[in-house]
Every structure is written in structure tokens, then in C-alpha cells.
Structure 1
Amino acid sequence: MNGLLIGRSAELGGLVRVLESATEGRAGVALVGGDAGIGKTRLATELLAEARKRGFQVMVGQCAELGDALPYLPLADALRDPELAAAVAARPILGSLLGDGSAAAPSSGLTQQRLFGSLLGLLADIQPVVFVIEDLHWADRSTRDLLVFLSRMLQSEQVCVVGTYRTDDLHRRHPLRPVLAELKRLPVVTSVELRPLSPHEMSDYVASLGDTDARELGEIVSRADGNPFYAEELFAAVAEGDTLPDGLASLLMSRVEVLSEPGQRVLRAAAVAGRRVEDSLLREVSGLPVGEFEEAVREIVSRGLLLVDGYGYAFRHALLQEAVYTDLLPGERTRLHAAFAARLTSPAELAHHHLAGHDLVGALTASAEAGRIAERLGAPAEAHRHYDQVLELWERVDDAERLAGETRVAIAMRSALTAADSGDNHGAIVRLRAVPPSAEAYERLANYLWEMYQPDEAIATAESAVSMATEPAVLARALATLARCLAWTHRHAEVEPTGLRALEAARSAGAVDAEASALVTLASAAELRGDWSRAEELFATAAARPSGHLAIDLRAQFNLTRVHYDLGRLEEAAEVADRGVALAAETGLSWSTYGTDLRFMRFLIHYVAGEWDAAEAMAARFPIRVGTIPESVLSSFALFIEVARGRPGVDERLTWLQPFWSDALVTYMSRGLAAEHALWNGDPVTALEHVEAVLGMLEPNDAATLRIAGTGLWAMAELGVTDGADDLIARARYAAAHGPDGERGEMGLEGRAWRLRAEAEWARAHGRSDPGQWREVVSAFSYGFVYEVARSRWRLSEALLAAGDRTGAQEEWTLAKESAEQLGATPFIAALAEFGRRARFTGAASSGGLTAREIEVLTLVAEGLGNREIGERLFIAQKTVSVHVSNILGKLDASTRTQAAAIARRRGLLP
């Protein structure tokens, strides 16, 4: 390879900037595209050299043209680095990629999530690290999914991911196309497209290869058309005295044809193996004696067609391998594939070579085993493809059941389950409906229908599973699934008797997973009835021992945490949450549904208990640049602390979340907190718009209505309007009294507190602020919700002042102020300061009437930022910043920005 990098300084500079950002704790992804031979690998090599100089751990993996036959091939390639041995050994699911898969954990729908989570943990442990994935145009589905996952989940880690791909291979329906389109929309992703070198650059490049006369140089530059690899091949041909044929493929084959007959024989065999091949395997397939084989390889290597690569050889360029492979005769190609198949042991490679060699018996056998291994490795998309290949071959092969090692129905079930595990629930449903009816198939089908929000069909299918079940364990799982499907429907009353049947059947059959599932469903039903002690007991029983099903175990830990939390036992909730978070981390499931929920609960406990520094540290790990609904849910959690502390990143986060406001949970959290954000910034009209949007997404009996109604009534009180206030409190009262089955038992402590808050805000909106009512609210939140106690004391202080109890008002205001300052609740501090100034309370610093938004602007002014920079930081127009600055100067009676900052510091207005 030429030692000079010519014509790529701008592209290399862009990649180095991604490295620099990673060094500063801003993870980045770079996608390098270009035609074959344009210099992608050369550029990546330069970047890796720079990364090593900067102390980065380097990981490199390459995709192969075998495609989906070998899942996670580039990851396995990268993990073989001896420097990573200890980190990989600590994560067995990653280590399983380095063998044949037989030692991998049993397959489950969570296997891929565990694998992804474990890799994320490894990257965080060995940072700073750069991970290069070459030839993404050949990537399997699971590797593409991994790239998307890393692009979205890496946030503040010192990690740089680089992917290279051929643009000339991306036809209109190429599976990488939508992935690239999705990723390039993310600001964390840097896209680099390598253009052809200019004639001047190409002249410099060819001159760097060696001596050549002006005529030859001009011809090479003209023929190469800006492609460095083509130029190298032309230069080599000229140096060897060859005439120059038309086209790159002809040129490449002309260099192959000068080899001896044994050399050509070895090179053709190598081309069938792929980009790389082991020495011993290549020797066996070539059929040459050892001495003759070694001479042939020496000849090939000396001409630069193959490179020595570890224990084998690699083509110098993929284009050369493709040219040699394409030139093979059909019979020759078939025989060579069969020869490789006779000597390989990897089922995935065997399946590939058997199919190419038209050995249908071998292809079916190998595909079935390759599917099972892909399942265990957490590559459901590839497993699904292998199983579908088995089904396609089934009628064309005699004795297929013996060869596959399973019945056709079992393979079809595996195909359906792996389709669902790869995110294709619709495909799973279609395949399960095509399977002969059975209790096992219907139990799975009911689960997928339930997840696709088809409750009536899910219930009917689960009932069919129950009626068809003959084996005790299958019956237990079917009953547990039926109980789960009945919950939150008009048949909710049947949940408990069905769940109890499931529990009895599970314990009788020893089906621990079905027992845990039934316990969780029964506990949820008890909770809905208001039987909190029963719910807590059942959740604790479910969480007491592993069920063998991680999703159920995490679900039990999450729900037990939540019940402790709802009962106000924050210390116990924290202990269970910590165990659940640790379990999720140990198993690589931190980013699974319940792994995420457990982290949110731990965050929420910190938030409620007033441990805001810890809460904010957790929130810093929640993604801002979201692209899916689960990511948006997690991002929404961060708004609790960011809005309460008045952080400037709120607007950026809300901008990213806005496209996901079609999801009820994302809308409830993000728009509910956006309403509070607007209220702190003196914009109750916008707050009401958010509240109305949230209520439009919630069911009338959803208890989440209580908090949103309280926020809406707060906005109405600020506006001095009562129109709609009665409707809002009526909706809150309905939600407090009605669950999914028409009645609601006693709510948890937080729910009861929000109900009282909504009532008090309704009275305030009507101009009636009763100190006794606000004392009830303070008391209700006093189970440990530090922030809400303080906010309620604020309103209690206002009510006491209006009632003429100035001493009591001062006391409540002082307590609220102390809490707000300890929490660092900047907007709340500003509101209390303004109220204290108007009330002339002792110790009230004058805020000069600044709004929370003006304090945000003033904070950045004090940091020395200009209007444009402040606008970019707060996601507002530069003109709007100018208006805020003018208002600040006027309110603080300051003539300059520096003076305003000094006044604000003296008054304690800056965080």
C-alpha cells in the first residue's frame, strides 16, 4: 500500500474531528462511502493510526460477502483482539461469538438485547475506543441493527464508530440504504463521501507509486478516472510490461492470467472461499501437493494478488476476488463450493457452500443447525432466514425431518419466533397462523396479538391455547398468557380467577416462568383493586427467585419497586431498583423495556427523595438524539430534572421528542413537563395547549390525568380564567374514581397527593385559596416527595398571606425557599423570590421581576456568551434573545450586560 495519503486531507480532518469529540466525551459515528477502490480502507487505516497515537483502543471488523450466513461477523472479528480478552471474558454472551455458538446462552427474545447491551458496556469499560466496521454493504441484518443501536445509544462515552461502504453497490432496494438514510439524519453521525481524485491529485498519487515516464503517467491518470486502486493496477501492469486491456475487470484478470496454472488454480479456489481463507483449507481444496501449493502461493503473494493474513491469506482488494469468482465456469464454481463444504464445520458457512454447490440435502441440514446457532448468538433475523431456507427446501429433500433434527411444525415455530424477536411481529403472526393448530403455537400467537394491540383476538387465541393444552407446563403458560391478555379490557374481572388457575397449574407442573408471570398479573390486579398489601406480597414472591426468563424477572423487580414507591417506602424501593438495575446490567439488558423502566424508577426515586445531583447524573445518560419510541420514553424522563432545574437543554430535548408525540406515554411525560416549563417561563397559554394535547391522548380512567389536570388548573389560575376549569376537575375526579373495570381502589400515596393538588388548584383557579386545603396537599406529599412538598408550601404561603396570617405565610415561604435552594430548582427559586419581594418577607431577595426564561438568558450572559450563541444554546431566535436581554437590563436597572450579571450574582439569582 502506498505510504502517502493524497487528496484526502479534508476527509481525514473530518474523521479526526469525530475522534476529538469522542475524546471530549461526545460519542460519534462516521460513515465513509465511495466507489470500490476509491480509498475507503486507506482512509480508515490513517484514522486508526491517528487514534492509536491519541491512546485509543482500536477494534476492527470486516463484513463478508456471505451476508446473512454469518451474523455479527465484523463484531466477532473485532473481539478476537488479544487486548480485549479480559473484557470479553467478563461478558460470556460476547465470548460466544468467538466459537461456534454451542456455548452460548439458551435462546430467548432478549438474547440480541443482551448482546447489544454487553457490547455497550464493553465499549464504556475500554474507552477511549474506535470501532471500525468495513464493507457495510455486505453487513448482515443483525450487524446493521447493531450499528443503529450504537449510533443512538452512545452519548457521552469516549467512543467513535466508523463504518465504510461501497456506494456503487447500493441498488435501489439494498437493505443498507434505509439504514444510512436514518443514521445520516442524526447530528452525531458524520457522513464522508469519497470523490474521485482530481487529475492533478492522481498524477501525484501515481508518481508516488514509483518511476514512470510522462506518457505512461498520462495514460494511467486518464484511464484510472480518479480511482486509486485502478491506478495501482494499471501501474503494476505497466511495470510488468503488459498491454492495458479495457475495463478494470479485464485488467484484473489479465494480471491473474500471467500466473502459472497451479497459481491460477489456487487463486480460483481462494475466490470461492471469499475475501479471506485459511492456509490449510486452501491447500486441501486446491488439491495440490504441499510443495507445489506453497510455490503457487508464493507466486501469487509476490505479485500482490493475495496478502498474508494471520494463518491464511486475503485478497488485496475485494474487486479482485469478485473478478476471479465471476470468471469461474459454472461447473468449476459448483465443484469448488462442494469441496469447501466437505471440509468446513461452521453450519452457516456450510449452508452457504452447499446451496452454491446445489447440494440440497447438505443445505437443509446445515441451514437448520445454522438457524439454531444464530438463535443462541442473538441474531434472530439471520436465524429466521436460515429456518425459512429449511422450509423452502423441505419438499425437495427426502427424509427432511431426520436431516433437520425437528419436525416441520417445530421449524416453522422457530421461524415465527425469530421473526418476532427481530421485530417482525406481523411476520410472526402470519407464520403462526400457517402452522397446524396447537396450544404452543396459539399461546405464542396470543402474546404477539396482544403486543400488536389486538386484545379481542389475543384473548380468543389464548382461550384456544388453554382448551387445546394437554401438557401441564403448556397449560400453565397458556393460562398465564390468557390472564395477561384479559387485563385492562372489559373482561378485567376474569383476570384474578384465570391468574389463580395459572398459578396452580404452574406450581403443579414446576413451570417457574409461568408461575412468575401469573404472580405479576395477579399482583397488578390486586393493585388496581387498591389491595396494596396483597399486590406487594405477590410481586415480592415473583421477584424472590429467578424464573429462568429474564424478561419476567425484570418485570417482577420493576413492579415490586413501583409498589414500594407508591406506598411511600422509598428506601425499600431504592434497594429493589438497585438489584433490578444490577441484574439488567449484568445480563446486558439495561436497554430492554424493563431494564429501561427500572433505571427510570431509580431516577424517579432520586428525584422524589430530593437527591437531585444523583438524578441529574442519571439523566445525563438518557439520550437526547432519539429516533425510536423507546428512546423517546427514556429521554422524556430527563425532563423531570431538567425542567425543575431550568436547564438550557430542555428546548433541544423537546425538539427531538416532538416527532414522537403520537405516543401516549411520550406525550404524557414530555408535553406534561413542557407545560410546566412554559409556566415557569410565564407562558400559561402554551402550557394549556400542552395540557389539552396530553388529555387528548389519555383514556378518561387513566390516573395520569390527575397530575396533568393539576398543571392545567395552575395555568388557568395564572391566566385568571375559569372557563374549562370545572370540566378539567370533573375529568380528574372521574379518573380518581374509575379504573379499567369501572371502579378504582385506593390509589398509592403519590396518586392521592396529586388528586388533592388538582382540587386545590381548581379552587385557586376560582379565586378561592384555602390554607386548610393546601395543608392537606403538603401533608399528602410529605411521605418523601421533597420538591412537591416545597411547591405546595409555596401555595400554602400564598393562601395564609391572603387569609391575613403573615407569620405563618413567612414560615411556609422560608421552608419552601430552603428546599428549593437545596434542590437547585432555579425556576422555582425565581418564583419564590418574586413572591417574597411582593410580600415583603424577611430574607426575600429582589428578583427584579425576572422570569425563569430571563434567568436562563442571564445565566448564559454571565458566562460571556453572545446573543447568537445564547439563541443556539436555548433553541430560540437571536432577536428573541435581544428582547430578553433588554428586559433584563431594564428590570435590574443595569446599563451593561456585565453590570447585569454582577447585580444578579449579588442578589443570588444565578444558579
Structure 2
Amino acid sequence: MKGLLVGRAAELARLARVLESAADGTAEVALVGGDAGIGKTRLVTELVAEARSRGFNVLVGQCAELGDTLPYLPLADALRGAEPAVRDAAAAHPLLGQLLPGVESAPPAGLTQQRLFGSLLGLLAEVQPVVFVIEDLHWADRSTRDLLVFLSRMVQTERVCVVGTYRTDDLHRRHPLRPVLAELKRLPSVTHLELGPLDSGEMSDYVTTMGDLDAQELGVIIARAGGNPFYAEELFAAVAEGDSLPDGLASLLMSRVEVLSEPGQRVLRAAAVAGRRVEDQLLREVSELPLADFEEAVREIVSRGLLRVDGYGYAFRHALLQEAVYTDLLPGERTRLHADFARLLTSPAELAHHHLAGHDLAGALAASAEAGRVAERLGAPAEAHSHYDRALSLWDRVPGAAELAGESRAALAFRSAVMAADSGDNHRAVQQLRALPLTSEVSERLAYYLTELDDQDAALAAAEHAVEAAADQATLARALATYARTITWTARHTDAQDLARRAIETARAAGARDAEVGALLILAIHAEHEGDIARALSLAQTATTEDTGDLAMNLRARFHHGRLLYEQGLLAEAAEVADEGIQLAVETGLNWSTYGTDLRFLRFLIHYVAGEWDQAEAMAAGFGARVGTRPEAVLSSFALFVEVARGLPAVEARLNWLRPFWSDLLVAYMSRGVAAEHALWQGEPAIALEHVEAALATCEPGDPGILRLATIALWALADLGQVEGADDLLARVRFAVETGPVGQRGQMGPEGQAWALRAEAEWHRVHGRLDVDLWRRVVAAFDYGFVYEAARARWRLAEALLAAGDRPGAQSEWEQARETAGKLRAAPLDNALSDFGRRARFTGGQGDGSLTAREIEVLRLVAEGLTNREIAERLFIAQKTVSVHVSNILGKLEVSTRTQAAAAARTRALL
């Protein structure tokens, strides 16, 4: 094994540290990426061997190239291949037992991610210490990706090490694994390794461990392998067997296959159709060889290193080999083999895959419909929608489709639409519903989703029809609740409460808990806008504690409860509710549904407002900048808050990706408003005004969102020295405060009150007046817990105090603002404060001279004892740049050593 690790000693050492940490009781996750054939599996194999030697139980699961069709395949694979003691422990958990051999593969009704993940946590705790390896995450189904995120966040003090491998060359721009990796890499418990190609010296060492070669042969292999160990192995094997070097990798791989006997090639072709792995009995039956001949063929294949023995079957030594053999099959041969596998398999997802590849459309339709129902029960809506859509796409080509699917086309399409919405694609849900006969149920869902898409007129028409067409009490209750929701933000809002009360009465009589909770939330919103906050919170809390049986409704209740708490400045309570909702969304596969998304941006805002910016930045990185859907764009818009406030380089790229989504009201409102702040920090107030005017165009008169936007616009006018337009902006602010949306305004929360005050203060600044008392009120208003905005208000208060002649008061406010900016690493604000301090000729301040936010960041790491090289790695900057920062810090603090700088930092409360 030693030769296989040439050039990977550093990576293995890092993985060994991860393993050691897990052994000591701190759960760890390692992600190993690299191109196909670069050595990921070899590296992990060494880690597994080390783990076994330390007494770890080992679980190894393999993802398959089946797309989002077979939830939890690597988990099932790992359990099936585990040691007997681990399998026995898994069998004691009924939900995990379903994944073991000999048990019916379809899970029982009611199985959700929450219960399955809980069972897995229990198992890991029982068999610890344990290493759980998930290979080829680039092929992972959505539920497996959710499982990886869940384990990364939930295992903490257990002696558990989770290792995942993935191909970087398979991660195209829209690959679903990308945002997952971005999210996980930000977690402190996650170690990320990306294996690059070996250099020529390492390749030379590696190739020579395989056997003797002359200098010319060695040179050719190194030149053609491109630093890829697998390519080098294949090239070496071709040379060792006396073959000429193939022109391409496919030819290279197939040259190894073609030396097999005819039975051996027959078995290998069948294995390629099965996928990366195949069970022994299944392969034997499809190969249709006598037992003795089959075993001899397999022995030949294994001896040549093309397949390896793996648990109950065999696995291709490398995925590229399986792909090459599969591609080389004749069309008829491929079809026949897929049909043979379909005849023998029982998993609906696998059946659908093989039936479709084998052109058995009837079988594919039936299996796809059943696979969709299985995925739906597992809490995997994206996979369920994909299966249902596949069945629907085959419907008109298959006689007797309804009998094969087990339900009508309309019923299946309705299921598919709901699953599309649950996975975050409301547009697709609406498209599918509009193609169906407009029953009350269809119209109710249509109204519900259209409301979320802000298509008010169409939503209202659908909601009215849903009420008119209702055939029973439960259906009527849901229709009434949705109707009330649809008109809440229209001129007919006064009718909504009566409709909601009627919906509650009808729902209670019919036992429709989801409709009851939906109506309770409408009443909570109206109580909020009538100023009865206590009643609004009580109604929302009641809605949250109800188990509706509708997961999407449960999330909606948690979002509105958390939002109400947030808007009243109760940040800790709001965070608790939001965290509970996010956990529920992740565990049930609804994290991209409307309220799964909303809960995540609410949690981000709580971090942002509370000054927990490292957590906010970690969430922002997980949101992903390269957006392709509306939910992704919404989250990405919120990520701009902390990135703009910290002056991060990711801002421009994120804005470029968001521009195509500026037709969406929420995305435009959020992203263009923050883009205006970015322009102001860049000294471009005219561009800031353009953004604000576009964002204001998305707001109805009285919309509370006007407060922040108008304030930013007034800031821009003040920087431009332009008075025109200021009075209109202030009038819009006052109308929003006094009247509210569609004439509804109750008690405004602390953040709204603070923004309204700041708008007044900025209006005075536009007119050349720095009102000390007003800016004091702004500081006090934001000081309910909005850390950043309180600091920005102190900046303006310091300017006003200095202009009024109160120099000590101005410096005091300036010092407090600088301290906050340093702690938050709010570089633009810190730079503005530094500039103001220089012009005001302030001295001392925090006791840091004029340290920039970056210098404070470097100083913190110096105080931790890190070297310049380690600081450079941590901050992703050049070591020479760190050296310059350290020199500046020593000069500004008037000290001569790093130790003295650290001591000064602690004495002066810089850390």
C-alpha cells in the first residue's frame, strides 16, 4: 500500500488528525474532492485501515449514477456491508432495518427524514467509535445530500468521523452538490481536502512502484498520465501486457477489457449495465452462465483488477472503467441487459431506471409512479416530483396508464405539482395545476401558490372558485383559509378576518387542522396590524404548537411566529423558533419550499442584526452566489447584507448572478437596496439612487420596506449635495409609518421605528442640518439589539456632536462605533470612521491608532499565536501581505514584538 500513497502524505496526515479528533470525542467531517482517478478512494482506504486498527467500526456506502431516484442508497449500502454487530444494532431500529437485505424495500407509511435521521444518530451513538464513508457524492440523491448536511451539523460530541468523496470534474456550474459543499466548508467541524495532480517527480516515484520500466516507457507514461495515478496505472498495465499505448482513455480502458475471455467480457458488460456495483446473485442471473463458468469468469475479471469483491457482490475498480464498458455496448445489447435487470429487481427507482433504458415504457411508468410515492413518504419532494413527471411524460405512450400508475393522470399530476412546490418550484407547480380540471382542491392550491408568486388577480379568481366548488367541509375549510390569505394584502383586507373565523369554525368541525392553522395565522397578521401584538404572538404560538399533518403548513406557522418575534426585537426567542423550523425543513426535505427558504433568510437576518456576523457570513456562503432558481435568488439577495457590510469581494459576482432575477419583487427589493449601500460605500451615490428608485418601484404605498430604501436614498442625496426629491422620500416614509400597507397600520416594531427616525435625521442632513438630539434618538432606537445600525448611527451622531462643538462627546461616540466596526469586521464602516477620525484629528480611540478592520483581524490571529504563514492560510492572503500588516500593527501600537502587540490588544480590549 505504501506505493499507492506517493505524494499524499500531507493529505493522509490531515485525515489522520480528523480521525484522532473523533476518537477523542469531537465528531468530525472530512470532504475529499478531486478529478476522477486522482486517488480519493486510495486515500480513504488508507484512512479506513487506520480506523480499523484503532478499533473503529467502519461503514462504507457508495452513491450510484441513478440521479435523484433512489433515496439513501449509500446508507443502505453501508448498512448491508457493515460488520454483523453493526447490522444487528441497525436491525434493532425498525426504520434502519428497512434498508437491510431481506427486508421489503418500500418504507412504511409515515417514514420521514426526521425519524430516519434520528434512528441513524441513535445507531451511531451505539456503535461508536465509527467511521462513515460516503463515496462519489457527485452522484448523491437529494436525500443523501440532506443526510450529509444533517450529520455535519448534528454529530458533535459523539466519536464519529464522516468522510465524503466527490469528483470535482463532475461538478458543473448547476450541480446540486455545489451549494452543499459551500455550506459545509464553512463549518468548523469540516475538513476539506482537494487532491490535485501529482508532479512529475511524484509520478515517477509512483509508477516505479508498479514494476520495472525503461526510461523511455517511464517518460511516456508520465507525460501522458497528466499527474493522474489511475491513468498512470492503466498506461503501465498496457505496457506490461505488451500492448501499444491507446490513443484515448476509453480505448485504453477497453484494451484491458478486450483481453478477457468471452465469458469474462459477457459478465463485465452485464456488470456495467448494473452500474458501479452489482450483487453476485443478480449478476449471475443476468449473465445467464452456468455457475462454474460464471465463477471462473468473475475470478478472471477480479484477478485482472477490473472488478473487486465488495460485500455481497462486486464493484468496478474505477467508475471510468464502468462508463467505458457501458458506452461500448451495442444498442440492442444494452436494451436487452436493462430489461433483464428490470425483470429481477424490486426497488421502484431502480426498476424505473432499467425499464426506461430497456425501452419498456409500461414498466417504466408503473415503477416511476411507485418510486414517486416512496420518495414522497421518505420526505424527498424533489425526487418524488422527478419520478411523477417521468410517469406523466410516458402517459400518452402507454395503453392502460391509469391502471399501471394506480391512480388517474389528474391525481398523479396534482401530486407532482404539490411536490414541485414543496421542493421550491412554485412556477412549475402552477403550470401543472393550470393544466388540470379546476376542482376546488386544484383551485385552492393554485390560489395558494399564485399568492406566493405575487400574482394577486389570478390568485383571487382561483380562491373564489375554490370556495364555490367545495364539495365537503374539509375542502371548504382549506378554500376559505386560502381565500382569507389571498385578500389579506388587498383593498378587501377587512373581509379577511371574517373569512378566517369561518374557516376555523369549518375546519374544527371537519378535523382539518391544516386549514385551522392557516386561518389562525391570518388572524395573527391582522392582530399585528391592528396593534394588538400580544394577541398576534399568542395566535402564532398556538398555530406553531398545532401538528397539522401538513409539513408545509407547520413551516409556515413557525416562520410567522419567528417573524413576529423578530419584528418586536425579541431576537433570542425568534432565533429559537427559526432554528426549530429550519431543522424541521431539512429533516423533511422541504428546505427549498417557500417557508423553508423564508426560515433560512429569517435566521440569517437574526444573526446579522444581533451582530453574529461570522455565523451570518457562513450562512451567506451556503446560500450560493450562482443562482438558477427563484428561491436561490431570494437567499442570495439576503447574503448581500453581510458581504456588503464587510466589503467582501464576493459582492460583485453575486450581484451579476442576481440581475436576471430583478423582475422578481422580493429579489429586486432586497438585492437592489443592498446594492445601493454597496455603491455608497464605493463613493458612487448616483448609482445608489438608481438602485433605490428601481427597488422603490416594487413597493406599494405604505409598504414598511419603504423605510429602509428611502433612508438609503436620502443618504445618497446628502452625499450628492442634492435636495431635489428629499421631501417626496420623507413623505413616503411618513405615509408608511402613519397609514401602512392597504390602510393597515398598527404598532410598528422597534426596527421600523428606528428606520423611520433615521430617515428623518438623513432628511435633515440633506438640508445641511446635523441634528444632535435626533441622531441620539436614532442611536437609542437601534440600540434594541441592532448592533451594526446602532454603530452607523453613532458615526453620524459623532459628526453632529463635532459640528456642535462637543469634541469629547464626538470622540466618545466615534470610539464606540469603531469598536463595533472592528468586532464585526465591517471594513467599509471602519474605513469611513477612520477617515472621519483623521479629519477630526481624534487620537487614541480604541487605543489602536488607526488600525483597519483587516489589521484588527490579523492582530486577533497574532494574539492566538499563529505564524505569518498560518495567518495567510486562514485569511486566504499572501504571506508577504501578512508581514506588511504585522509591521503596520507594531508601528501603530508602538510596540516592538508580536507578544507585546498581543498584550496591548488584550489590555486595550481590541479582541
Aligned positions of 1:211-610 closer than 5 A: 228-229=233-234, 231-232=236-237, 235=240, 249=254, 252-257=257-262, 259=263, 270=271, 272-284=273-285, 297-298=298-299, 301-302=302-303, 304=305, 306-316=307-317, 337=338, 339-355=340-356, 361-394=362-395, 397=398, 399-567=400-568, 576=577, 580=581, 594=595
**Residue 571 of structure 1: how far off its partner (Å):** 7.0
CA contact (8 A) 1:41 1:134 kept: no
Structure 1 stretch displaced more, 181-190 or 469-478: 181-190
Tell whether 2:629 aligns with 1:624. Answer: no
Give the Cα separation in 2 of the matches to 1:473 and 1:642: 47
1:32 equivalent in structure 2: 34
The question of whether the paired residues in 2 share the 8 Å contact of 1:101 and 1:373 is answered with no
**What does the per-residue CA deviation read over 1:808-859, in whole Å, with 9 as the maximum and x for residues that have no partner?**
x96996999599789967989999999999999xxx9743999977465477
- CA shift for structure 1 position 763: 3.7
- 2:694 aligns with 696
1:255 counterpart SS class = coil
**Mapped contact 2:822–2:856 kept (Cα < 8 A):** no
Provide Cα deviations, 1:496-543, integer angstroms capped at 9, x if missing partner: 343333333322221111111122123223323434344234323312
Match of 2:257, as an amino acid? L
1:414 counterpart SS class: helix
Using the TM superposition, give the Cα deviation of residue 252 of structure 1 relative to its aligned residue in structure 2, in angstroms.
1.8
User: RMSD in angstroms over aligned alpha carbons?
Assistant: 6.5
Specify the alignment match of 1:164 in structure 2. 167
Question: Corresponding residue for 2:107?
Answer: 103
C-alpha distance in structure 1 between counterparts of 2:643 and 2:330, whole Å: 66
Give me the whole-angstrom Cα distance separating, in 2, the residues matched to 1:271 and 1:675: 55
User: What is the TM-score with the length of structure 1 in the denominator?
Assistant: 0.72
Cα distance between partner residues in 1 of 2:9 and 2:597: 37
- 1:179 corresponds to which of 166, 171, 175: 175
Q: CA offsets, 1:68-105, max 9 Å, x none?
A: 55345345435667599899999998887767664366
Q: Indicate whether 1:651 and 2:655 are aligned.
A: no
CA apart distance, 1:697: 1.1
Distance 2:451 2:594 in 1: 16
Q: Following TM superposition, by how much is the alpha carbon of 1:249 offset from its aligned partner in structure 2, in angstroms?
A: 3.5
When residues 529 and 120 of structure 1 are mapped into structure 2, their CA distance, relative to the original with a 3 A threshold, is farther
Structure 1 residues 181-208: Cα deviation after superposition (integer angstroms, max 9, x where no partner): 978997979876769x989968973x65
State the match for 1:242 in structure 2: none
Aligned partners of 1:200 and 1:768: how far apart in 2?
Answer: 70
For 1:73, give the aligned amino acid. L
Q: 1:548 to 1:230 in 2, by over 3 A?
A: same
Aligned to 1:4, the other structure's residue is in SS state helix
Shift of 1:560: 2.5
Cα distance in 2, alignment partners of residues 123 and 394 from structure 1: 43
Cα distance change, pair 896–693 in 1 and its aligned pair in 2 (3 A): farther
Q: Would the aligned equivalents of 1:561 and 1:574 in 2 still touch at CA under 8 Å? A: yes
SS of residue matched to 1:488:
coil
Counterpart amino acid of residue 64 in structure 2? A
**Counterpart amino acid of residue 253 in structure 1:** E
Contact between 1:306 and 1:316, CA under 8 Å: does it hold in 2? yes
Task: Choose 850-859 or 502-511, whichever is displaced more.
Answer: 850-859
Quick check: 1:133 aligned with 2:129? no
Q: What letter is aligned with 1:416?
A: A
Larger Rg belongs to: 1
Mapping of 1:114-153 within 5 angstroms? 133-134=135-136, 136=138, 139=139, 142=142
Mapped contact 2:33–2:165 kept (Cα < 8 A) = yes
CA distance in structure 1 between the partners assigned to 2:576 and 2:487 by the alignment = 31
- TM-score, length basis structure 2: 0.72
SS of 2:315 mapped into structure 1: strand
Matched to 1:552, the amino acid is: M
Q: Give the Cα–Cα distance (whole angstroms) in 2 for the partners of residues 219 and 822 of structure 1.
A: 58
Secondary structure of the residue aligned to 1:548 is: coil
Query: How much has 1:317 moved relative to structure 2?
Result: 5.1
Contact 1:473–1:509, Cα closer than 8 Å, also in 2: yes
**Structure 1 CA distance, aligned partners of 2:328 and 2:893?**
84
Q: SS in structure 1 opposite 2:471?
A: coil
Higher deviation after alignment, 120-129 or 668-677: 120-129
Tell me, yes or no, if structure 1 residue 4 matches structure 2 residue 3.
Answer: yes
Q: 1:277 is aligned with what amino acid?
A: V
- The residue identity in structure 1 corresponding to 2:544 is A
Paired residues, number = 865
* Kept in 2: contact 1:577–1:601 (CA 8 A): yes
CA deviation string 1:711-758 (max 9, x = no partner): 665677788875654343223213223433145333224323432343
Aligned to 1:847: 845
**Cα separation, 2, equivalents of 1:330 and 1:302:** 29
Q: Does 1:77 align with 2:77?
A: yes
- Name the SS for the 1:745 alignment partner: coil
Specify the code of the residue in structure 2 equivalent to 1:4: G
| Residues 900/630 of structure 1: CA separation in 2 closer, same or farther (3 Å cut) | farther
Cα–Cα, structure 1 residues 364 and 766, in superposed 2: closer, same or farther, change >3 Å? closer
The amino acid that maps onto 1:752 is: Q
Query: Are the equivalent residues in 2 in contact too, given 1:61–1:134 (CA < 8 A)?
Result: no
- Secondary structure, counterpart of 1:163 in structure 2: strand
**CA gap 1:667/1:135 in 2 versus in 1, 3 angstroms:** closer
Q: SS in structure 2 opposite 1:103?
A: coil
1:113–1:589 contact (8 Å) kept in structure 2: no
Letter in 1 for 2:3: L
SS in 1 for 2:403: helix
In structure 2, distance between residues paired with 1:688 and 1:26: 49
Q: Percent identity?
A: 51
Distance 1:643 1:905, change over 3 A: farther
CA distance in 1, matches of 2:527, 2:61: 51
| Contact preservation (8 Å) 1:561, 1:577 | yes
Shift of the 884–743 alpha-carbon distance from structure 1 to 2, 3 Å rule, reads farther
Alpha-carbon distance in 2 for matches of 1:811, 1:215:
77
In 2: Cα distance, 1:86 partner to 1:764 partner: 73
- Partner Cα distance (1:863, 1:676) in 2: 30
* Corresponding residue number in structure 2 for 1:62: 62
The one-letter amino acid of 1:478's match is A
CA distance in 1, matches of 2:738, 2:750: 15
Larger mean Cα displacement after TM superposition, 820-829 or 760-769:
820-829
Whether the 8 Å contact between 1:153 and 1:623 is mirrored in structure 2 is no
Distance 1:525 1:315 in 2: 62
Q: CA deviation at 1:457?
A: 2.0
Query: In structure 2, how many angstroms separate the alpha carbons of the residues matched to 1:221 and 1:798?
Result: 66
**The 10-residue stretch of structure 1 (510-519 or 441-450) with the greater mean CA deviation from structure 2:** 441-450
**Cα distance in 2 between the residues matched to 1:179 and 1:774:** 48
SS in 1 for 2:548: coil
CA displacement 1:761-786 (0-9 Å, x = unmatched): 43455455667656765775676768
CA distance in 2, matches of 1:359, 1:321: 23
Distance 1:693 1:119 in 2: 49
Output one character per residue of 1:313-356: Cα deviation in whole Å (capped at 9) or x when no partner: 33445566667767878887666655544443222233344455
Partner of 2:24: none
Q: Check the 8 A contact 1:23/1:158 in 2, yes or no.
A: no
Show structure 1 runs of 5+ residues with no match.
Answer: 240-244
The alpha-carbon deviation at position 14 of structure 1 amounts to 7.7
Describe the SS at the equivalent of 1:430: helix
